[in-house]
Amino acid sequence: MPTFQFGKTAIEYTLQQVKGKEDISIVVEWMEGVTVVAPDHLVQEEINRVLRKKATWILDKWNSLNKIKRPPAPLEFVSVEKLPYLGRYYRIKVKQNQDIDKVKVLFHQGKFHIETPTSADDIEHVPMIREALKSWYIQRAQVKAEERVKRYAQRLGLLLECTSLT
């Protein structure tokens, strides 16, 4: 990967030389970095001259893009990971159980206990756990919301005809 020096800062970039192109394009992207697309007949000195001219813009753009947080890595649902619940993060404990045919989720003593069937391999268990957790979160959200609706209805002196959100 070519590098261009601007002051004390080294700017790495990907160079694509395209036949028939007449001008130089500089693209600064969050995940991909800096890409320079130039005509195939241009020598490196000419490319460096344009990069020197645009270096301040490249650095400004790069610095503003670096303020964006990277997306978190997708969960693998192993026992060292943590999941959010009611404003805090709790560890998960995953174990296999030969007596079940679908994933079970239980929250007990500040931990998520997740049981997976032994028939599922590591690749299959991730989507199975994700779906089971989604259902568990929805079910718990309904219970918590219903509790709050009842509490505030009572405080406000309202009579509820239906207390279920489903």
Q: Evaluate if pTM is beyond 0.95.
A: no
Q: Using one digit for the tens of pLDDT, what is the confidence trace for 117-141? A: 987 676 788 999 999 999 999 999 9
For the stretch 40-83, pLDDT in tens is: 999 999 999 999 999 999 999 999 988 887 777 888 888 889 99
Closest among 84, 66, 87, 67 to 75, alpha carbons compared: 84
Over residues 1-43, the pLDDT tens digits come to 899 888 898 989 999 999 999 999 999 998 889 999 999 999 9
DSSP string, 120-160: S-HHHHHHHHHHHHHHHHHHHHHHHHHHHHHHHHHHHTPPP
The single-letter code of the amino acid at 52 is R
Beta strands 111-117 and 88-97, pairing class: parallel
